[in-house]
Amino acid sequence: MHIIPAPDLNIVRQLLQPAGLPIEDIGDNPLARFYLIEMDGKTAGVAGVELHTTDALLRSLMVRPEYRGRGLAAQLVSHIQQAAAAQGAMALYLLTTDAAEYFKRLGFFAIARDAAPDSIRRTREFTHLCPDNATLLCRKL
């Protein structure tokens, strides 16, 4: 297993679209970076991060069904946390409609959407791509 920067954003789109995750701004956002996790030479999952000075936004975490239950999502989240912290981020935020409990097990905690810092509230993910009922979670880095 290893994690690499996504060499091609088309791969990212092909992974995210069937999972129902936002792809509309992929390629348009210079702050977004995507990483692939590979097993046995095959792409098993993807995660993205947007860096906004001291705040970062985890976006589009997805592991293919046949690779689930192996801890790959947690490894991707850990990689994103380390990459964001290395770039100076102090907190990692995310929006989810159905995985809040999973992220809480990884050390995230729910916060009110209006408590998000301006840098996160101004993202397309926050303003347009995720529904208003998505839960906002945070983890200090």
> Contact, 78 vs 45, CB < 8 A?
no
Mean of per-residue pLDDT scores for the chain = 94
- Give the mean model confidence (pLDDT) for residues 1-5: 95
Q: Residue 54 belongs to what domain range?
A: 2-140
Q: How many domains does the chain have?
A: 1
What's the CA gap between 69 and 71, in Å, rounded? 6
pLDDT (0 to 100) of residue 7: 92
pLDDT at 28: 84
Beta bridge partners of residue 64, listed in sequence order: none
Place of tokens 């069904």: 65
What is the side-by-side order of every strand in the sheet holding 109-111? 2-5, 32-39, 42-52, 55-63, 91-96, 135-140, 109-111
Q: How confident is the model at residue 3 (pLDDT cuts 50, 70, 90)?
A: very high
pLDDT over threshold 90, residue 2: yes
| CATH code of 108's domain | 3.40.630.30
Per-residue pLDDT tens digits for 90-101: 999 999 999 999
Is 111 exposed, middle or buried, given 0-12, 13-18 or 19+ CB atoms closer than 10 A? middle
pLDDT digits (tens, 9 = 90+) for 81-139: 999 999 999 999 999 999 999 999 999 999 999 999 999 999 988 998 888 889 999 99
Which pLDDT value is given to residue 78? 98
